Structure 1
Amino acid sequence: MKTLKSLLYILALPVLLILWWILATAGGASFFVPTPADLVKTFIDTWIGERMFTDVLPSIRRLLIGVVGAIILGVLLGLLVGLNRTARAITEPVFEFFRALPPPVLIPVLMLLVGINDGMKVAVIISGAIWPVLLNTIEGVRAIDPVQNETSRSYGISGFARIRYQILPSAMPTIMAGIRQCLSIGLILMVISEMFASSSGLGFAIVQFQRSFAVPEMWSGIVVLGLLGVIMSFIFQWIERRVLRWYNGLKEVENAV
């Protein structure tokens, strides 16, 4: 099974490239859809150089700050709310209200409150990416087995020790699911935030290419975003396997039984 999965991973990219080449050249050359060869050349010419430092790296820095901030705030606030029934009852309608607001709608407000700077872009990322982490943390804490809670109390485990050794491990599978969603939302909001009142970043560059009808360059920017998404996914999977090693082992035992 693992061999078949690895083979599919290896064959997926060549198959997609062949299909793309066929579709891009079937009706003759298209101004709006470059061939893979043209796109590779444009990608190298556009991004392997100055734009790597003026657009790509600043975007990655904003994304990392925003995502890390959303994860830390989401987990901390989720623990505080999840451990207190009264707090859950009070904050639930408030959270549902703000969660329903599309983050791009908040951009003009954040521009007024924070200013037109990198802080505004990071705030946009945090404002949208925090919700899956926060809500999954609350749900993970709320769903902890009551027997575990009683056992912790019986052994006198309380305070930070209880959070460290009982609550966080028990809620971690749910929290990691929220973090996975947080990464994709953060990447989307990074691009959107850079399309407004910005002078650098991937979002800014893609919009500039689109407005100047630089179609291959625009597509190359989209490819950069896709590569960032793939790299983030692989890094997350690597971290998740190590953080949830005990959980994955338990699932394998249950499946074997």
Structure 2
Amino acid sequence: MRGVLLRLCCALALPAVLLALWWAASDGSTNVYWPPLRTILGAFPDVWTGERLRGDVVPSVLRLAAGYALASAVGVALGTVVGSSRRVRAVCEPVLEFWRAVPPPVLVPVIMLFAGIGDTMKIVVIAAGCVWPILLNTVEGVRAVDPVLAETARSYGITGAARLKDVVLRSASPQIFAGLRQALSIGIILMVISEMFAASNGLGFTIVQFQRSFALPEMWTGILVLGLLGFVLSVLFQLVERRVLGWYHGLRAATRRSR
């Protein structure tokens, strides 16, 4: 319990200091574009009511979840295939490197032509950006599977789906989760960008509407909501990661103790 409280204090210390500095630096501000923090916090409960949370935050989170899940499934599946075969990797790498270099926001107008302006477009945009870190980390993780471990599994007759699940994906899982962590932050960015194009709800749409109507304290509250959403998702991701990769963190801790 003491360790949990200590980690919580460490996690909240820097945000508390930054908020205190923001409060002090903006307290006497008369700049319309940079209102005092007390003004922003005062507008927060009036703006983010239960109705607005249901109408804007929930749709954004659902789109993010759908796009992230799609990217995770495609990235892990394709990355496993590419990483497992040298020939497939030689054929696919030039194409993958080409598409990886294309910024996903540039594809928004193109995706709109094929997917329309509804939720499908936003989900595809999020998935198109999130898939690359997952895919590339999966490829490298699969390539780095210990050959001795793979040969031992083959000697014991562990083949097919059992080998894929218990040897390949398990060995590559630390690197896969590294890609998933990178993709989460990219997904939040693309969620906002996709909602700035032909949207009728969502966090990105709401922030742009506040900016266009010069409701700048309200616009800043939307930015704070995005930050809080990113923090909550990061904490949830860490909890899942520690549970799934408990064996890996335990192995690393044992290795450090033995040195």
TM range (shorter): over 0.9
Stretch of structure 1 that moved more, 119-128 or 206-215:
206-215
Distance 2:61 2:6 in 1: 34
Partner in structure 2 of residue 221 of structure 1: 222
Partner in structure 1 of residue 100 of structure 2: 99
Contact 1:133–1:179 under 8 Å retained in 2? yes
* Mapping 1:1-257, distance limit 5 Å: 5-26=7-28, 28-257=29-258
1:85-144 alpha-carbon deviations (Å, 9 max, x no partner): 111110000000000000011111111111111000000000010000011001100011
1:178-235 alpha-carbon deviations (Å, 9 max, x no partner): 0000100000000000111111111111111111111001100001110110011000
Aligned residues: 256
Q: Which runs of 5+ in 1 are unaligned?
A: none
Distance 1:57 1:5 in 2: 29
Q: Which runs of 5+ in 2 are unaligned?
A: none
AA of the residue aligned to 1:39: I
Stretch of structure 1 that moved more, 105-114 or 47-56:
47-56
Distance 2:157 2:90 in 1: 28
* Matched-pair identity in %: 55
Distance 1:69 1:104 in 2: 18
1:4 is displaced (CA, Å) by 6.0
Contact 2:122–2:195 under 8 Å retained in 1? yes
Contact 1:24–1:30 under 8 Å retained in 2? no
Q: Aligned to 1:200, what secondary structure does the other structure show? A: coil
Contact 2:68–2:187 under 8 Å retained in 1? yes
Q: Identify if the C-alpha distance between structure 1 residues 120 and 6 changes in structure 2 by more than 3 Å, giving closer, same or farther.
A: closer
Distance 2:82 2:11 in 1: 41
Contact 2:27–2:38 under 8 Å retained in 1? no
1:55 is displaced (CA, Å) by 1.1
Contact 2:75–2:135 under 8 Å retained in 1? yes
Q: Aligned to 1:144, what secondary structure does the other structure show? A: coil
- When normalised by structure 2's length, the TM-score is 0.94
Contact 1:81–1:88 under 8 Å retained in 2? yes
AA of the residue aligned to 1:158: T
1:9 is displaced (CA, Å) by 2.7
Contact 2:27–2:37 under 8 Å retained in 1? no
- When normalised by structure 1's length, the TM-score is 0.95
